[in-house]
Chains A and B, each alone.
Chain A
Amino acid sequence: MRFLDIQKMAVHALGKNKIQTALTMLGIVIGVSAVIAMVSLGQGAQKLVQDQVAGMGQNVLQIQGGGGWNTGGGGARQGGDQASLTEGDVEAISREVPTVKLVTPIAQAQGQFVFGNQNWQSRVEGSNEHYLEIRGLKIDQGEFFTDSDVRTANRVVVLGKTVSDNLFQGSDPVGQTIRIRNLPYRVIGVLTPKGQSATGQDQDDFAIMPYTTVQKKMTNSAVPRINRITVSAIGSTATVAAKEQITELLKERHSIRPGQPEDFRVNNLTEVAEAAESTTRIMTLLLGSIAAVSLLVGGIGIMNIMLVSVTERTREIGIRMAIGSRGSYIRMQFLAESVILCMLGGLIGVLVGIGLSLAIAQVMGWPSFVSPQAASIAFLFSAATGIFFGYYPAHKAASLDPIEALRYE
């Protein structure tokens, strides 16, 4: 018997019972599309985390003032609320920790930016002259402030693209004077835009000033506040050592005895990123496994229908055997039916799954990401499902006794 004839026969048999075929296929379609959508979703989340981490700069550590969220005995102290970090800490880290490359204190503020009749609400990051390098940012127009601006608390500001666009509507902002909280500031530069973050957040909606300026002009507290210290390590492998060394140094400087909760917290963003990545990886695996279960259920559905079909077509099988079909031809025909069913279902499932992944990404505002491995594995798996779950019914059909089968009513 010719191979092509077996395929034709299988397709013909599937075509005879279109509704049954479609419903059986639906199980596989749902299974395959679920696997693809779930894995794509998980991998999208993974990519999101990676993007976010990359946006923070490389090999960056952040030292947060106030009791850490992770210190069990810390109680009510919330990150950043206690002005526990000082300029002395910044200098000490820069001076004494060998694995640290650059350090900047960060003082934050909010304000209404006004230029002419335009105004814009945004946030201000006060830092020193190393900010750009630590965060991996670039200047588009003008220039960044220098250490002398920091020392003299000069009223200069570098605008993010969004702020600049909203205030200046296309005219050149460099050299212009804007007002924030009723004080004039000179715009000396505009940052190269980074665009939206993976979560859809505008990464260009902020401005940078010398931290001294923020402390003196924009915050009302009597003590100059440093919200956090951002540090870049000399290399990605140095981040762990840097974290330990900074922790030791600050413990000593803040006179924290062993066993006492710390009044600061050092976050190694590389570590955070790795943790987040492994979390999303586990999530991907979990979602994928749950979806794989639905593929399995679809496979069992195939087996069920094929068994019913063998029983329904017992007489037909008897006729085929009587006129000279070998058992193996019957087996191949039924196997071909279930494999074609599964592969067609798999193919539709891949298309639906891709559509679903794109739709979910759109709704969630995540990077649209279709996992090609998930698509190909799910498709191959559906074909394997066809063979695995089709074999027993096909074998059952092939082992029928032609006389019994012919007598079947």
Chain B
Amino acid sequence: MAEARATGSAASSSEPVIFLKGVHKIYRTGEIEVHALRGVSLQVHRGEFVAVMGPSGSGKSTMMNIIGCLDRLSSGTYILDGVDVSTMSRNQLADTRNQKIGFVFQAFNLIPRTSAIANVELPMVYAGVSPSERRERARMALAGVGLAEKEGSFPNQLSGGQQQRVALARAIASNPAIILADEPTGALDSKTAEEIMRMFQQLNRERGITIVLVTHEADVALHAKRLVRFKDGHIQEDRMIVPQDDVLTLLHPLEETSYEVP
């Protein structure tokens, strides 16, 4: 599957994985209209590690939902991995999420009372992968996050960090085009958060997986290679940063941003 996709988009390797142009999103609740995105254009290329920051109501969550094919845009264009998703049906969006996107959430979002390996297998179950193949791939993914021995454990038997690693394994097991992480360290202590961020970095560096990560926390964002900052439905700032491995030395450059309250 990975090979198939690689060849599919190899002809245009310079083409972005995520291509957003003039994206608007307007929510209507009764009389009130909320203009959550006001013409956002963004391109993310293969192998990038992008951190998305911004205060509440800046539109970054809406952005994530649209990139994650959970929500449809009101106007504009969104091309994901060479496919126009802006006009897709509900089912097509579901299939796209299944094949092209690996989600990692703040609350881990594993299926309760279901073993780690069954959780990792789940996206492949929906994709119709045969039981033996998905088991093998799930095993590999769990081994990749260092949880080979915990495959039979239930979420409530795992620590927060372990649960997030299972979620990460679930995200990568089906070889998605991008991993979309929404506050992946928000529910973890700083030491575990650092571990998880190292794992993201490792996946990005060693396997070239494209990652888009939303966070409030500057030290988390600084693990990325590019920083996109949202404000009032616009992209306020978009720049490359030098990814740092040591958090302590990195608190400085972002302290000027007053809204960063972890």
Residues of A within 8 A of B (CB): 1-2, 5, 9, 12, 16, 315-316, 318-329, 402-403, 406
Contact A16 B113 (CB under 8 A): yes
Q: Whole-angstrom distance between the alpha carbons of A318 and B70 in the complex? A: 10
Closest to B118 in A: A12
Give the residue name and chain of the B residue nearest to A402 (CB).
B70
- From the candidates B70, B112, B127, B128, name the one contacting A322 in the complex (CB within 8 A): B70
- For B, the interface residue count at a CB cutoff of 8 angstroms equals 27
Q: Are B91 and A319 in contact (CB under 8 A)?
A: no
- Cα of A324 to Cα of B173 in the assembled complex, Å: 13
Does B255 lie at the interface of the complex (its beta carbon under 8 Å from any beta carbon of A)?
A: no
The yes or no answer to B97 lying at the interface (CB within 8 A) is: yes
Are A324 and B70 neighbours in the complex by a CB distance under 8 Å? no
Given A1-B128, A402-B70, A403-B65, the answer on whether A324 and B112 have CB atoms closer than 8 Å is no
Give Cα A329 to B95, complex, Å: 12
Segment at the A interface, from B12-20, B31-39, B103-111, B241-249: B103-111
What are 19 of the A-B contact pairs (CB < 8 Å)?
Answer: A1-B125, A5-B131, A16-B112, A316-B112, A319-B110, A320-B111, A320-B122, A321-B94, A322-B97, A322-B109, A323-B97, A323-B103, A323-B170, A324-B95, A324-B97, A324-B98, A325-B98, A325-B126, A406-B105
Chain B nearest CB, measured from A12 CB (Å): 7
User: Closest approach, in angstroms, between the C-beta of B11 and any C-beta of chain A?
Assistant: 26
Closest partner residue, chain B, to A12 (CB atom): B114
Is the CB–CB distance between B111 and A403 below 8 Å?
Answer: no
A198: min CB distance to chain B, Å: 55
Q: Which of A12, A322, A325, A326 contacts B103 (CB 8 A)?
A: A322
**With contact pairs A1-B126, A16-B113 given, residues A326 and B70 touching in the complex (Cβ less than 8 Å):** no
Chain B residues near A403 (CB-CB < 8 A)? 65, 70-71
Q: Does B90 contact A (CB under 8 A)?
A: yes
Which residues of chain B have C-beta atoms less than 8 A from A2's C-beta? 125, 128
Shortest beta-carbon distance from B117 to chain A in Å: 13
The residues of A that contact B112 with a CB separation of less than 8 Å are 16, 316
8 Å CB contacts to A: which residues of B50-73?
65, 68, 70-71
B192 located at the interface, meaning its Cβ lies under 8 Å from any Cβ of chain A in the complex: no
